[in-house]
Each structure stands twice: as C-alpha cells, then as structure tokens.
Amino acid sequence: MRGAVGILIISHGALGEALIESAGHMLGKPLDGVRQLTVSARDDPEALFARGRDLVKQLDQGAGVLVMADIFGATPGNITARLLVAGRVEGVSGASLPMLVRALTYRESPLATVLEKAMSGGHEGVVHMNTDRCCGPG
C-alpha cells in the first residue's frame, strides 16, 4: 500500500523544527512522516547532503517526498536541489507555516498535488494586511 507523501524541511537554525511544532499545534496532532534538517554555518555541506539523502529514504513510503527549503540559493536550497528526482522527490523553496499546513492537509494525494498545494499555500499566505481585503477597514 502506498503511504502518504513524506515531507522534509531543510532550513537554517531551528526554523524547520519550529514549523513542524507549530503545524502540529495548529492541526492538533503529532506529525508523522515529517522531518527537518538543520543547517548551521559550521556544517559540512557534503555531510548535510548525505544526511538529507538518508532522511529522504526514510520518509519515502511509496508516495514520494516533498522537500521544503527555507531559501533558494543558500545551503538549504542547494542541498534540496541535489536531492531532487522528478516525480519522486520534489522541492520548493520559501518554506513557511501556510505552505507546510497546506502540504500536510493534502499528504494523501499524489506528490504533484501536494507540491501544487504547498506552493499555493505559500503564495496565498503572503498578504498585505493594510490593503488586501482580508482584514482592513471597510
């Protein structure tokens, strides 16, 4: 049987851990099949890549893995780029809480759908609160 899409967050400092903890709080349950890889200035990128590759193998239960990097062009994004396998391991940068919650909500869907939903969650989570109709006067 095919499992849910695995999710790996690769980020600077404790961002990944905080995103996972916050999403679990919002969804009211512990999150299985979600891991994070912390990047610090002291880390060897090759060692991080090897750890990322191991985490992807652990997380892939048959439905693939979505890797979320905190920023494109920095070490987390560069490691993510090296892990990608089209249709099996997909990556997105700009990891955020709306992105993670949306991906978690659709984890039972095909990987392509989880990727699309994660990206839309990230896009829709950016709101100029002074001018967008969500919450301003009027």
- Per domain, the residue ranges of the chain are 6-124
What distance in Å separates the CA atoms of residue 66 and residue 10, rounded to the nearest whole number?
11
CATH number of 6-124: 3.40.50.510
Confidence of residue 135 (pLDDT cuts 50, 70, 90): low
Could you identify the residue written with the tokens 């919450």? 135
Q: In this predicted structure, what is the pLDDT of residue 134? A: 62
Residue 100 CA: distances (Å) to CA of 8, 42, 44, 45, 135: 10, 27, 27, 24, 23
At 1 the pLDDT is 46
The proportion of the chain whose per-residue pLDDT surpasses 70, expressed as a percent, equals 95
What pLDDT does residue 15 have?
Answer: 97
- Burial class of 87 by CB neighbour count within 10 A (0 to 12, 13 to 18, 19+): exposed
Tell me the per-residue pLDDT of 4-28, one tens digit each, with 9 for 90 and over: 999 999 999 999 999 999 999 999 9
Give the tens place of pLDDT for each residue, 43-99.
999 999 999 999 999 999 999 999 999 999 999 999 999 999 999 999 999 999 999
Q: What predicted TM-score, i.e. pTM, was given to this entire model?
A: 0.93
The neighbouring-strand residues paired with 9 are 36, 68
